[in-house]
Amino acid sequence: MSPLRRVVVVGASLAGLRAAEALRRYGYAGELVLVGDEPHMPYDRPPLTKQFLNDGWRPEQIALPIPPGLDITWRLGVPASGLDVADRAVRLADGARLHYDGVVLATGARARPWPGHPVPAGVRTIRGLDDAAAVAEALSRTRRLLIVGAGFLGGEVAAAARALGVAVTLVEHQEFPLLAQTGPHVGRFVAALHRANGVDLHLGSRVQGFTSNGRGELTGAELTDGTQVEAGLAVLALGATPNIEWLAGSGLVTDRGLVCDEHCRPLRDDRLPAPDAVAAGDLTRWPHPLAGNELISPGHWSNTVEQATAAARALLKPDTAPAYRPVPSFWSDLYGVRIRSVGLPHLADASEVVDHDPAAHRLIVAYHRNGPLVGALTANRTSQLVPYRAEIQRHLDSRRTRTRSVQD
């Protein structure tokens, strides 16, 4: 392989930055260009729905540190508009064309918007720093907040707003919060947490429509359970949708994400990996043995960091990079309760409560699929995750040896 002289990283956030760091760590000495559509230097998103909303954190506190010596050429504030895989070039919206010897695709995801009609002013989503700053500002002027979607993000916004003394109505169409993601035990536990903290939780309910005043400003919403909610601010927490549009026409396969193989390489229409390209972070979906090799997209911080490192290695050392088969892990903080998980709880067909101490807000749930353990979740009991994680790791390792012996 001829040495790479220019690597272009598209997406200047967690995945892009960590991939750039790993490229240097693995010895890449050529030109390194980071393209990002946001005007900001890379920052960390998890605090946006936590300390940034209720602890008065400033943007400087969430800046991701840039280690000295990375020697990056920054192209911030300009989106990439296309990728030419055959010519090895990234097209930018300002007309520039960046030739590459290697490319890292890391354009992440954005908040899913309200489907259909335009929404009144005061209905917001949170994905980036500017969104979170706008919500933080609006929260300081609002007494009543409506949140649509009681997933982790919506739940954290509820907790932050309650800490500020704002009245919160939280609407979730599932029977429990997080039901599809973590099952009924955690759903009940989280629902109880919200209610204990004074949230007006509406389960099995949806927003039928928003109401507004003559100036087009939000006044509230009507729910399918018949409730009329009053609110000066609404936050939509409906999940994320991957930023794949700019890759249209590139010949890469997209299916609710950029489809990659186990070596972080995006696949072309002919299902072969695209040359000189890797991808990482919330943009991607790839096959994981825990999921029976179905495509997964965890959408979490730890995966992003680990996958970015694996992608950098795969780009520099395509012949020796190991398959990327992590034990995923996730965290969320709700009202000071530390919720942590390992594995892929959403895949489970059975789950059991191993321990529950309601007074101490402690919970341990184990998840199984066709028998074997596929995940575990704890609240205020992170220590107990360690053996579960080890068991999932062993299971993954044993599958690895099995596949190898079948191939031999």
Ligand X SMILES: Cc1cc2nc3c(=O)[nH]c(=O)nc-3n(C[C@H](O)[C@H](O)[C@H](O)COP(=O)(O)OP(=O)(O)OC[C@H]3O[C@@H](n4cnc5c(N)ncnc54)[C@H](O)[C@@H]3O)c2cc1C
* List of residues contacting ligand X (CB under 6 A): 10-16, 35-38, 45-46, 48-49, 79-80, 106-109, 126-127, 153, 243, 246, 281-283, 299-302, 304, 330-332
| Minimum distance, C-beta of residue 19 to other proteins, in the bound complex (Å) | 12
Q: Taking the alpha carbons of 144, 147, 152, 155 in that order, is the dihedral positive or negative?
A: positive
User: Is 276 or 391 the residue whose CB approaches other proteins more closely?
Assistant: 391
| Minimum distance, C-beta of residue 139 to ligand X, in the bound complex (Å) | 14
* Cα 142 from Cα 220, distance rounded (Å): 12
| Minimum distance, C-beta of residue 47 to other proteins, in the bound complex (Å) | 9
Out of ligand X, other proteins, none, what residue 382 binds, judged by CB under 5 to 8 A for its kind, is other proteins
DSSP 13-70: SHHHHHHHHHHHHTT--SEEEEEESSSSPPB-SGGGGTHHHHS---HHHHBPP--TT-
* Cα 313 from Cα 320, distance rounded (Å): 9
Output the six-digit token pair for 239.
């999940």
Using alpha carbons only, give the angle 151, 124, 54 rounded to the nearest 5 degrees. 70
Output the six-digit token pair for 22.
């790993």
Out of other proteins, ligand X, none, what residue 177 binds, judged by CB under 5 to 8 A for its kind, is none
| 286-318 exposure pattern, b = at least 16 Cβ within 10 A, e = fewer | bbbbbeeeeebbbbbbebbbbbbbbbbbbbbeb
Q: Which residue has the tokens 């940034």?
A: 52
User: Is 305 or 364 the residue whose CB approaches ligand X more closely?
Assistant: 305
Which residues within the stretch 322-381 sit at the binding site for other proteins (CB under 8 A)? Answer: 327, 329, 331, 333, 338, 340, 342, 380-381
Is residue 57 involved in binding other proteins (CB under 8 A)?
A: no
| Minimum distance, C-beta of residue 26 to other proteins, in the bound complex (Å) | 13
The CA distances from residue 166 to 158, 163, 250, in Å, are 9, 8, 47
The count of residues interacting with other proteins (CB under 8 A) is 23
User: Is 153 or 253 the residue whose CB approaches ligand X more closely?
Assistant: 153
User: Is 185 or 389 the residue whose CB approaches other proteins more closely?
Assistant: 389
395: exposed, middle or buried (C-beta count within 10 Å: 0-12, 13-18, 19+)?
A: middle
| Minimum distance, C-beta of residue 261 to other proteins, in the bound complex (Å) | 24
| Minimum distance, C-beta of residue 214 to ligand X, in the bound complex (Å) | 33
- Side chain identity at residue 7, one-letter code: V
The one among 55, 255, 386, 403 contacting other proteins by CB under 8 A = 386
Measure the N-to-C terminal CA separation of the chain; round to a whole number of Å. Answer: 27
Which residues within the stretch 270-309 sit at the binding site for other proteins (CB under 8 A)? Answer: 301-302, 305-306, 309
Which candidate, 311, 386, 398, places its Cα nearest to that of 23? 311
Out of ligand X, other proteins, none, what residue 65 binds, judged by CB under 5 to 8 A for its kind, is other proteins
Q: Write out the residues near other proteins by the rule CB under 8 A.
A: 18, 44, 46, 65, 301-302, 305-306, 309, 327, 329, 331, 333, 338, 340, 342, 380-383, 385-386, 389
